[in-house]
Every structure is written in C-alpha cells, then in structure tokens.
Amino acid sequence: MLQLSRTLLRSRYWHRGRWVSTWTPLATAFNSPPARRLNFTRDDVGLFCMPELRGFEGFYLLRDNAESRTQELISEAISDQRRRKMVDIFDELSDTLCKVADLAEFVRIAHPQSKYTQAAEQACISICGVVESLNTHKPIYQALSHVVQHGDKLPTSEVDRHVARLFLFDFEQCGIHLPEEERLRVVRLNDYILQLGQKFMSGAVQPSVLPRHHVPEAIRNYFPTSGDNVIITGLCTNAANVQVREAAYRLYLQPSDSQENLLRDLLLCRHELARSCGFETYAHRALNGSTMERPEIVHEFIDELSEKLRPRAEADFAKMTQMKRRECGREGAMVEVWDTPYFTTQMRRQSLEEQTNEFLPYFSLGGCMEGLDNLLRALYGVRLENTEMEPGESWHNDIYKLAVVHEREGLLGYIYCDFFERTGKPNQDCHFTIKGGKRLADGTYQLPVVVVMLGLAQPRWSGPTLLSPARVDNLFHEMGHAMHSMLARTEHQHVTGTRCATDFAEVPSVLMEYFASDPRVLRTFARHFQTHEPISEDMLRRLCASKHLFAASETQLQVFYSALDQEYHGAGAQKSGSSTETLRSVQSRFYSLPYVENTAWQLRFSHLVGYGAKYYAYLVSKTIASWIWQTYFEANPFNRQAGEKYRSEILAHGGAVPSRKLVANFLQREMTPSVLADSLIAEIDADESKIKDLISRS
C-alpha cells in the first residue's frame, strides 16, 4: 500500500475545492498520438531490433539460419558423444524454430507492407516444412523416447523430465511411434481435419440469404437486401423490436446440410485420429496434460456446476420474463434465447441507470495504463516504462514500447503495444509471443518479447483515446497474458509464460479482469480526461455491478456450450444421428431455455474448430481465477505479499510444472470438481447480493 500511495501522491492533489491531477509520463505518452519519428543520422536497427530485418529479405536469412541450426541440433541429439541434456537440446531446437515462426506469424498478419507479409508467410511455410520433417525423423524421436523411458545419462531435474515428456507427447501427436501404414493414416487424418476445419469456419460466418417472402413484411426493412433476397448477417441481439430478434435468430441459424456434413466428418475424423494414437476419444487426447487431466473430471465439474446453477439461472430468466411482459404488454410472454442479451442491456439502463457512454470520459487510455502501472508496482514491484524506439524497430508509427522493469531484478522484458485500428489490421484483441524467455547456457536470461494487439480508435489532437468498461477489461486481460510472459522465469522456452495447458493459460488474464472490476483499483486511475475529477462513488458502484448482471444465466450458457463440446468429442462422436439431435438433448439437460425448432446454432459455433474438446477451458480458468481472487486478493487487491507469492508459485513457472499441481499447492487444497463449482457459485451469490443492495438503494 505504501508503494501505491506514493504513486498516487505524485499524480493527484486538492486545489480550491476539487481534485486536480497531473498525468504521469506513462499516462501522458499513451494519451497523446504517438510521435512520428524522423531519422536523419541513425541506422535502422531492424524490426524488433533484429539486424537481419532491416529489410524484408531478412526473413529468408532467418529461415536459412534456423534450418541450418536445426540440422546441427539433430546431429547433436542423436550423437553418442552428446554432452548436453537431451531436454536442453530439444528446447534449443524449439527456441530456434519458434523465434522465426512466431515472429513471422505476427508480421504476416500485422505488418502494413505486403513485401514484409509475403516474406513472413514464406518463412512460416518453410518452418512448417521443417517441423513436418522433424515429425517423421525416427532417430531423433527414438533418442528422446529412450531418455524419457530410461532416464538421461546426464543429471536431470523433475522439471527437465516433465518438459521432456511434453516434447515426446508432441512428437507422438503425429503418429511417429506407430507402424508406417498407421502413421501415414494419422498424417492423412490430420491434413483432412485441417481442411474440414477451415471449410467449417468459413461456412460458419456466411450470411443467410433468403427470398423476401420468408421475412415478415413488417420487419423486412431492418435487414439488408440484394434484389429479391434478404440478407441476414447476424443475430440482432440488441434490437428493440422482438420480432426482429426472433426472425434473425430463426433465419440466421437455419440448418445447413453442407455445414452439418462438415461438422459430422470433422468429429468422426477426430475420433478416428484419437483412436489411432491410443486414446479412447478425442476428448481424452485433447485433455492429456491439461489442468483437468481427463474428460471424466470435466463432466463431473460441469454436472456439479450445472446442478447448483439451475435455480439461480432460472431466477434470472424469471426476471427477464417480467421485463418482457412489462415491455410488450402480454401477460403470457416468456423470455426466449434471442432475448437474453437485450434484457441484460435493459437492466443496466433501467435498474442501474447506466447511460450510453457515460463512463467513457473517465477511462482515457493513458489513465488506464497508469492504473496498470500502479497495480503492478503494488503487487510485484514492477514498473512499465515507455521507451523510445530505434529507427526501423517498429512496423508502424503508432506503436508504443514498454520496458518492464523490476525494482531489484532490473529489466524483465519488453511489451510492444499495437493498440490502434488501421486498414488491414485484424480486428481482434490478442497477445503474441515474439521471443520466449529461457535460461541461457552462460547463466543469463533470454528476455521475453511480446506484442499486445488491440483495436482502439486512434487518439485525436483534441483528446485521448477513451475506453468503454468492456475495453478496459480487455486491456487488463491482454496485459495479464503479457505479464505472465514477463514474470515467468523458466529454464526452458518451450514452457515459458503462456506456453502452458490451455485450461490454465487464461487464469492470469482472467484474474486481471477481477482487478479491473474492483472499485479500489478503479479509484486509482478512473478520472475525467479533461477535468481530472475522480469518477463518483455512485458511478463506480453502478459500473462494477453492471459487470455481474445475470451472471448465473450467462454462466449456465457457458456450461451448456462446454457440455455440448464434450459430448461432440466423446464416445458419441461415432454414433449416427445429426449434430442437432445431440444439441437438443444437451440443451435440455444443461440450459433452462428450450431448443428452438428448425435451428442449428452449433453449425455457426466456430470454436468447435480451434477449441475442440477444450471449450470448457475458459470456464475452468475463470473458476480458478475466482478462487485465487477470493483467497488472496479480495480483501486487499494491492497486497504485495500475496502478489509475490502468486508470482513465485504460479506465474514464474509457466508450464514447467503441471498446472493442477501448481493450483493445488498455491491454494493449499485439492482441486476437485466440487470445490471448483462451489468457488464460482460463491462469487455469483456475492455479486447478486451486491446488485440487489444497489438496486434497492437507487
């Protein structure tokens, strides 16, 4: 708290009856348009300070160097005169390839110049070719397998042995341990699964095009048209007209034979792949090495949580039904699946008196970055320093570079902030690892480098970029990923930072959302960008409460999605019958609102491709984050002792220690499905109590 107080004293004081603030240098930098840097004297240092990337041709040199070093490492791994631990050789092999592949993948999608994106794409393809070649290299696989099964000839730690097992599992995903005919079948299945996934995702976002007479005339003008057709591009969840919401839902989610065939083939091929690799189902394969470990534990967690959620979710839906009846004037009206987002928004406006954009002026980008800096100083003794970039270091002139500096350890790494929208840039909030941290042979540490990408509006000379509460949450979330990379101190790059189990990777980022939703944290930086006046206590209470409206019903929806994903990738994958029949059955068990006839929502559920059998991961990550918050930070979100413990026992390890073991040791309790479910239910009940209290006082 002392550290935090000093920070606040530097930035706020009382003058003539009101608060006056001066922005810190960090806030000032992010509240101003990035300065265009003119260079007349200094040489370009290359993208990310890599001399090879002074020009796009450097990608070809990086690729060639990586391929050459890969051959040297293969020779070392299979040599009888090997003098390094096998896991160290494999980790250098992984690091060599990842430093090119990760960098090239980011540049491919983010660089504004086509010559760079094309060179980066060629590098990606080349490195993928190297990886495919490694996946068929029997001698290096056999050398690793022998070490995992019989131990290395050099002394190894438990972490070394764990990471070696991870490398071996990655190898065996491609069937290298199988007889040649079976291995080739696994390769073909993997290729076909990739193609099916791409086609399914493409179809999932295609609009529904229908003859005009399929849409009631009274609402036809709400949708775009083309000739005699009406085009339905989405669900219109926040439309005030209930007929529009219903029509959009029914028409956009109509069954599609082509999508159904793609999904069925995808699920069947995944099941066959898993069986070929020795797993009972694809879910068993996907959960191997995860926090939950087995699909049976996921099912138990989903069942426990579902049972406890149902009465709470039904209470939410009862409130929505009352709101719908008042609005439409029909006593028998019932809330439907197309109504829930709309009435959540209405509840914010009616009960919490939330006005559109009323919070925006209090969350300038610079103010939010100052808030993050305050929090990181308090918890970890870490500060964010805006750092001037060298000529040629960035891919655009609106990028910020942050040095992450610890008060005792010094420089921990760099975060490049690509925060603003621009033509050709993907419209997504995400975190990219450019270079992972690892211990080097000389005892020094390879500093991590990451990029945080957002899609914010460009700042104007008349004022800074302003963030909605949802955008503030996203900023804290993505910075949570970045700090996971910065604060990790692993021996091996393969398991640094976010390179851990999928159902654990979101825990640090979701935990940061808890800090972004806590009034005590928001008070440290939420102030008007013009007057510097702090946000009022009334607004603060309403803002924090609005984030938890109808939390039970929203969580129940996530449980339903997770259960459906598990069902699709379980033993039922090989059964006959449509995916919609499965959907209807799962929805009746796990969701309080009924299935809508002649709809096939799952055929637009693109997460089935990227998160097959792992959709539950967000729910489990949120539950673990909630448990950590309640145990260590709810009483005091600036607790330095808790922050240091969290870093040393969770963040520092990345994926070097099994995540289930990390969580159990940190929370001093076995991570059973019942304990996890109780933790989330306790949070939902506490938030509901706060909302009721706030509404009753308003």
Residues with a known catalytic role: 478
3-class DSSP assignment, residue 310: helix
3-class DSSP assignment, residue 339: coil
Contact 222, 245 (CB under 8 A): no
What does the radius of gyration of the chain's CA atoms come to, in whole angstroms? 26
| H runs (alpha helix) in 459-578 | 469-487, 502-505, 507-516, 519-522, 537-546, 551-568
Q: Return d(Cα 629, Cα 516) in angstroms, integer.
A: 12
Q: In 3D, which of 386, 377, 530 has the Cα closest to residue 26? A: 386
Q: Return d(Cα 624, Cα 622) in angstroms, integer.
A: 6
Q: Give the tokens for residue 571.
A: 């033993």
Q: Return d(Cα 294, Cα 326) in angstroms, integer.
A: 46
Q: Return d(Cα 490, Cα 436) in angstroms, integer.
A: 10
Number of CB atoms found within 10 A of residue 562's CB: 27
3-class DSSP assignment, residue 598: coil
Q: Give the tokens for residue 374.
A: 């305050």
Q: Return d(Cα 189, Cα 268) in angstroms, integer.
A: 10
Distance of CA 456 to the CA centre of its chain: 18
What residues contact residue 607 under an 8 Å CB cut-off, 6+ apart? 561, 565, 615
Q: Return d(Cα 418, Cα 107) in angstroms, integer.
A: 12
- H or E element at residue 373: helix 365-380
